[in-house]
Structure 1
């Protein structure tokens, strides 16, 4: 099937009730408009831990979102994509995935080059992060790197001005 492009959706930070309905709304509209939609699992961690090789099993990091999946999940609270508090620009050495441990050796690492490579590997034309201050401040960083970002603010701490 031919698509207009590919949209990636991720959720970061604390788990709140409206995430699944937001994912559903984005997915249903994007599919209707002719886009392919990928869910990035566990927030930014999914883009850090993804292995950019065609034969790699990345099912823990990314999943294709369909109308049926979005409709089922849209009736529940939380996020079926799961979430994390991973910040790729400040990743502790102990949290590096095995395939990056030889490349990054500082106590705190900026793995943004890996995230950018993984966004390209997935063929993402747009990235829609749903999150609070930490999630969206990193989304701003990716925007500055040239990624087309549509951010959706979500907070349980009232820290998104």
Structure 2
């Protein structure tokens, strides 16, 4: 497998909804990911995409019971709770992809990075959006690296279980610890 272009860093959902201790979706080690993410951004020389989870406009199928369970997140996609945290926003990353899905691999991200991209993933939560993005991207033919210390899960145990699950997909997904 030849890779002509350098990898793309994808900063998955570094948003207030995951950073705020008052949020039901708080990732307890979120703050610990900020410096590793900033270092990765510097190392990827503009080949960086940040993603944002936003609620779907119309709730259908499995999203109906999901929002019954998490009504606090059923807000306008423009609500400040969905903003990228200040420490990442101040980096003025060149690309943003907002999706109403846990996994961010899809048409919009592919349009930025290319079909068979080499992706380096960082962000939150390891056990939801990072995992969903990694699996879909690998399935589509991307080489995926997940930087463990630049990710945070809903708990330490969930973080480790998600990393272990992604390690099962080697060599398509590689976890850097």
Which interval holds the TM-score relative to the shorter structure?
0.3 to 0.5
Which protein has the bigger strand share?
2
TM-score by length of 2: 0.36
TM-score by length of 1: 0.39
